[in-house]
Structure 1
């Protein structure tokens, strides 16, 4: 197993093919600006892509918040990525927070957001970039950019409408209202809502179910799901035929078939 990715404002663990990235900046509600959390996320996804021992990545926050998004005090002071000319701010968005959606969009493994508390602004958008979201009863969502006279500069409008549909996404984005956990589940933002004490157990249950599958097939399936969002059907079917042919020649496919017929638990090697 290769060394873990370097993180500064987060902790990263790896157990049973499940990596967990936990934000450790509760002092600023795990804000994504004014911290190194952007680097931590980008570095972790790149590490997971390159590490064949990882099948699933969980992202969560310590303390009361998942992530408060942008640091509003920095906006007031016009410091950090919010300072400078129009050109300066454009560059800072591209070189800072917009690295998150680009990295997650290229992730080769499923990513689960375990939303432990408030996911506001870019924090909400980060959760929407993930494949799954499981929330505690303390989870709170808000696409609140409009309340501050700004737009979702991290690409949130692209992700949110693909997740819950245009009309619901537009309502949340234009009103900037807050959404509690149960409504978030009804809207399709959350896959499940559990008590706070059970959040990581429920997330690990889902992650473990995925991580028990053939490692190469997990990555192939993740790529195909992304391709399906962009390709026309004929092109996508050609892609499926090519990938399926490769899968049929893997050791894990043969092990899965043998185990199924023998009515035993398969042992996958990732080859």
Structure 2
């Protein structure tokens, strides 16, 4: 699947989605977001796709929200600014939720600057692998706004509350080595092999049961908000579903056959 703004390729069960607006450092316009949502929904629905790698074209991962779009919103009639902003937020949150709740592993392969919404988009993925050219900044404060792409939820869970406040209050740039030390980045690799390394990692993460992975991810995503009792209860329900899956049955039968052959 290819559009002017989004490229999506699938190889060996691994989808690679490229934000393709390099002349704007892949800043997210409304049109690009629509194409992004369509691509994410396709990946989520396609059972043949086992994992997703997200990266950016050119020198940047994603420079955040499109400044031209911000200008248009400010120039809207006064009585429409609030509702227009609310409507845009619904689209932003839907996009980030698609990444966060994707029922398969999602890896952000950060090839350059991830700023504002771009940094939040990386955090909405399960894992982040970054090149030596990557950097991160929650630069919303410099535009007089707050992180609206999940940064106030995801960042404290990676770096702790106090450090998250410092990064959000200052909007300063974090280079890849500091990001790795803080836990923002999970792995660092060469820019030349970044996407290939991300794809290899995605294949490793998605070798197991797709059913068990999707159910386990759903519970893990909520585990900081749920009580132990609730996690156990959801785990029991998920396990009941796993018991009925063909993946569970086939793996158990293969194990029993192998054991019988050794006797």
Gaps of 5+ in 1: 264-271
Larger helix fraction of residues: 2
TM-superposition CA deviations, 1:134-183 (whole Å, max 9, x none):
00000010011112222113332122112221111111001111011111
Matched, 1:97 2:101: no
TM-score (structure 2 length as normaliser):
0.89
TM-score (structure 1 length as normaliser):
0.86
Matched, 1:155 2:150: yes
Corresponding residue SS for 2:28: coil
1:255 aligns with 250
TM-superposition CA deviations, 1:183-202 (whole Å, max 9, x none):
11111111101110110121
Shift of 1:102: 2.8
Aligned length: 255
Corresponding residue SS for 1:54: coil
Matched, 1:17 2:20: no
Change (3 A) 1:250 1:155: closer
CA RMSD of aligned residues (A): 2.1
Gaps of 5+ in 2: none
Q: Distance in 1 between matches of 2:31 and 2:205?
A: 29
Q: Distance in 2 between matches of 1:67 and 1:215?
A: 29
1:116-131 equivalences under 5 Å are 116-131=111-126
1:53 aligns with 48
2:128 aligns with 133
2:101 aligns with 106
TM-superposition CA deviations, 1:87-142 (whole Å, max 9, x none):
14423432443332232233222211000110011100100111100000000100
Q: Distance in 1 between matches of 2:63 and 2:21?
A: 10
Shift of 1:226: 2.1
Equivalent position to 2:141, from 129, 146, 149: 146
Equivalent position to 2:63, from 68, 83, 100: 68
Contact map agreement 2:136 2:174 (CA 8 A) in 1: yes
Contact map agreement 1:38 1:100 (CA 8 A) in 2: yes
Contact map agreement 1:93 1:153 (CA 8 A) in 2: no
Matched, 1:175 2:170: yes
